[in-house]
């Protein structure tokens, strides 16, 4: 972290990075989303997805997993950022809203598909703050 730029501006830039992560994923903009990671950045998705490393693999992952899915919206809450001098860590909550079949007149068809958490290491790069490592859990539905 540059000594010259104040703490608050860095924290704000990290919040923008996180919002962009959801915005671009919901737009299914695979290369735009992959560019939010450092060139050697990793998305870690547990037993189901394993480790996806590097922007080319990240973009291909989104193409493969999300491009054909129905419209969706990610909502993030409770972002806890810790600045550590040269990098930052963060923990945050996410939930995914999907459009499913309509269950009747009183139903919008919108469902919470999954809810979980992100544990991140975020680093400053010449392009700005980027994800070095984003570890994803899916906590609900339990046993997914």
Bridge partners for 111 per DSSP: 98
What would the two tokens of residue 104 be?
């009747």
CA-to-CA dists, residue 32 to 19, 27, 99, 107, 117, angstroms: 13, 10, 23, 34, 22
- The whole-angstrom separation of Cα 73 and Cα 83 is 28
Q: Which is nearer to a copy of itself, 57 or 121 (CB)?
A: 121
- The whole-angstrom separation of Cα 67 and Cα 21 is 15
User: Among the candidate windows 4-12, 31-39, 61-69, 120-128, which touches a copy of itself by CB under 8 A?
Assistant: 4-12
Whether residue 89 contacts residue 82, with contact meaning beta carbons closer than 8 Å, is answered with yes
Which of 30, 38, 59, 92 lies at the binding interface for a copy of itself (CB under 8 A)? Answer: 92
Q: Which is nearer to a copy of itself, 57 or 98 (CB)?
A: 98
Q: Applying CB under 8 A, does 7 fall inside the site for a copy of itself?
A: yes
User: Among the candidate windows 32-40, 54-62, 88-96, 127-135, which touches a copy of itself by CB under 8 A?
Assistant: 88-96
Residues of the shown chain interacting with a copy of itself in the complex, contacts defined by CB under 8 A: 6-9, 11-12, 15-16, 18-20, 22-23, 26, 70-83, 91-93, 95, 97, 99-101, 103, 106-117, 139-142
């Amino acid at each position: 972290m540059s000594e010259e730029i104040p703490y608050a501006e860095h924290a704000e830039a990290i919040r923008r990075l996180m919002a962009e992560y959801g915005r671009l994923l919901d737009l299914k903009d695979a290369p735009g989303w992959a560019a939010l990671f450092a060139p050697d950045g990793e998305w870690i998705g547990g037993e189901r997805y394993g480790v996806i490393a590097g922007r080319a693999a990240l973009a291909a992952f989104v193409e493969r997993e999300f491009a054909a899915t129905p419209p969706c919206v990610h909502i993030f809450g409770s972002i806890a950022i810790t600045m550590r001098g040269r990098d930052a860590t963060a923990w945050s909550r996410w939930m995914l809203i999907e459009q499913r079949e309509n269950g009747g007149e009183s139903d919008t068809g919108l469902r919470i598909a999954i809810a979980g958490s992100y544990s991140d290491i975020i680093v400053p790069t010449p392009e700005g703050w980027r994800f070095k490592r984003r570890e994803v859990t899916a906590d609900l539905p339990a046993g997914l």
